[in-house]
Amino acid sequence: MSSDNNNKLSFATRSVHAGYDSADNEGSLNPPIYMTSTFAFDSVEQGAGRFSGEQQGHFYSRISNPTQEILETRLANLEEGEAALATASGMGAITATLWTLVGPGDQILVDETLYGCTFSFMEHGLKKFGVDICYADFTNHAEVQSKLTDKTKVVYFETPVNPNMRVIDIAAISALAKDYSGDIKVIVDNTYCTPALQRPITMGADLVVHSATKYLGGHGDLIAGAVVGDAETIQQIRLFGLKDMTGAVIAPMTVFLILRGIKTLQLRMERHYQNAQAIAEMLEQHPAVDQVFFPGLKNDPWHTVAAKQMDGFGGMIALELKGGHEAAVRTLNKLKLAKLAVSLGDAETLIQHPASMTHSVYTAEERAEHGISEGLVRISAGLEAVEDIIADLEQALAD
């Protein structure tokens, strides 16, 4: 399938076909899995050309692999970027990218709330190597503008934010960064939405990172990550951040599973969103619930921004119970259908307590400072019948 034809097709069709032609693979409907660590050359000259980058082709699966190339082509197509790099985990994608883009004395301007391991890598990792991590409330554009400096190399944020569901205006933040300096790289973690619901590169971001473990894989049976952006930067990340710094190499079988998951991505995201909307509306009216954070609710403070930049409000919900931490623990321990587990984007509804689980790497003081309360509960709405999910939540919330 030519790239010209690909660009004319719908998202759902490209999710199934982009980057792969069965005619080039013995008619195999599904991409072959190249389970090889190395590749043989026809000559020394060919090997030298591939190592130098002067000739196209694979030479070692730590750098690239034919199965992996199909996934990377498909992800770049769906995110509307030039190129992509698949990695062994979402943190592999994030760390390989940031090791490539920053060094001692550089600054990363980052939103005040992050996934726990991203925060830990920046705060407890990069800082040790002389990188300045500067926090700002990215929903406050004046504050962001005031903290940009000549040392700012990267502007980094998630949207919606994990775990408290704040929504950041991608176009506005990207414009602020680019107006200050065209050399700043704007990176958006698009794990919560996937390109089925949000495409940050089309709104001015330079790079998009994913935990492909979540919605891209979609079935809770793999660990993987990806970064998408311009071809030059992705090649730099591949040859330095991945090859030399992290070694976060994805396995061909994992690639195959992600490709299988992406075929149903749009269908699944629609169901996740529909279920999340119904769950959020129920929780909003429940007497035991103090506040619900879901951008699909009309009175959510981020509804207008989300409606502008998202094609649906996603499958993630956060809430505060009136009894705080004790009520959260009591409720989660009473669940019967929904699974008490970290991660998200699976077929099963997953519920967790960020302060004691995914964001426990923050100290209590850091959680308070970064907007993660002790009583916050995070829900990943699954694909079950929504009435069954709601019934389980109602019985857990009952006194």
Give the residue range(s) of CATH 3.40.640.10 domains in the chain. Answer: 3-262
The answer to whether 93 touches 87, Cβ cutoff 8 Å, is yes
CATH architecture of 3-262: 3-Layer(aba) Sandwich (3.40)
Do strands 350-352 and 339-340 pair parallel, antiparallel, or not at all (unpaired)?
parallel
Given the residues 62, 151, 178, 330, the one annotated as active site = 62
Q: What is the CATH number of domain 265-397?
A: 3.90.1150.10
Supply the pLDDT for residue 7: 63
Which residues, listed in sequence order, are joined to residue 133 by a DSSP beta bridge?
A: 108
CA distances in angstroms from 76 to 55, 169, 196, 269, listed in the order given: 22, 22, 13, 19
In 3D space, the residue among 74, 65, 63, 67 whose CA is nearest the CA of residue 15 turns out to be 74
User: 265: which residues sit within 8 A by CB, 6+ positions away?
Assistant: 15, 194, 196, 215, 216, 218
The answer to whether 60 touches 41, Cβ cutoff 8 Å, is no
What is the rounded distance in angstroms from the CA atom of residue 29 to the CA atom of residue 17?
A: 10
Question: Would residue 21 show up in a list of annotated catalytic residues for this protein?
Answer: no
Q: What is the CA radius of gyration of the chain?
A: 21
Q: How far is CA 270 from the centre of its chain?
A: 17
What is the rounded distance in angstroms from the CA atom of residue 142 to the CA atom of residue 128?
A: 29
Given the residues 189, 206, 300, 392, the one annotated as active site = 189
Q: What is the 3-state secondary structure (H, E, C) of 60-105?
A: ECCCCCHHHHHHHHHHHHHHCCCEEEEECCHHHHHHHHHHHHCCCC
Give the residue range(s) of CATH 3.90.1150.10 domains in the chain. Answer: 265-397
Question: Would residue 206 show up in a list of annotated catalytic residues for this protein?
Answer: no
What is the rounded distance in angstroms from the CA atom of residue 289 to the CA atom of residue 274?
A: 21
Burial string for 153-185 (b: 16+ CB within 10 Å, else e) reads: bbbbbbbbbbbbbbbbbbebbbebbeebeeebb
Which run of H or E residues covers position 290?
strand 289-293
Question: Would residue 221 show up in a list of annotated catalytic residues for this protein?
Answer: no
What is the rounded distance in angstroms from the CA atom of residue 153 to the CA atom of residue 150?
A: 8
Supply the pLDDT for residue 232: 98
User: 250: which residues sit within 8 A by CB, 6+ positions away?
Assistant: 68, 86, 87, 88, 224, 225
Given the residues 74, 185, 199, 214, the one annotated as active site = 214
Question: Would residue 263 show up in a list of annotated catalytic residues for this protein?
Answer: no
What is the rounded distance in angstroms from the CA atom of residue 238 to the CA atom of residue 279?
A: 41
pLDDT lower than 70: segments of the chain: 1-7
The pTM (predicted TM-score) of the whole model is 0.95
Cβ atoms within 10 Å of 58's Cβ, excluding its own: 16
Supply the pLDDT for residue 4: 44
User: 167: which residues sit within 8 A by CB, 6+ positions away?
Assistant: 139, 159, 160, 161, 295, 302, 305, 306, 309, 310
What is the rounded distance in angstroms from the CA atom of residue 308 to the CA atom of residue 305?
A: 5
Phi-psi region of 298 (alpha: psi -120 to 50; beta: other; left: phi over 0): alpha
**Strands across the sheet with 289-293, in order?**
289-293, 316-321, 376-380, 350-352, 339-340
What is the rounded distance in angstroms from the CA atom of residue 68 to the CA atom of residue 87?
A: 9
Supply the pLDDT for residue 357: 80
Given the residues 20, 111, 115, 192, the one annotated as active site = 115
The answer to whether 102 touches 153, Cβ cutoff 8 Å, is yes
What is the rounded distance in angstroms from the CA atom of residue 99 to the CA atom of residue 208?
A: 15
Supply the pLDDT for residue 6: 59
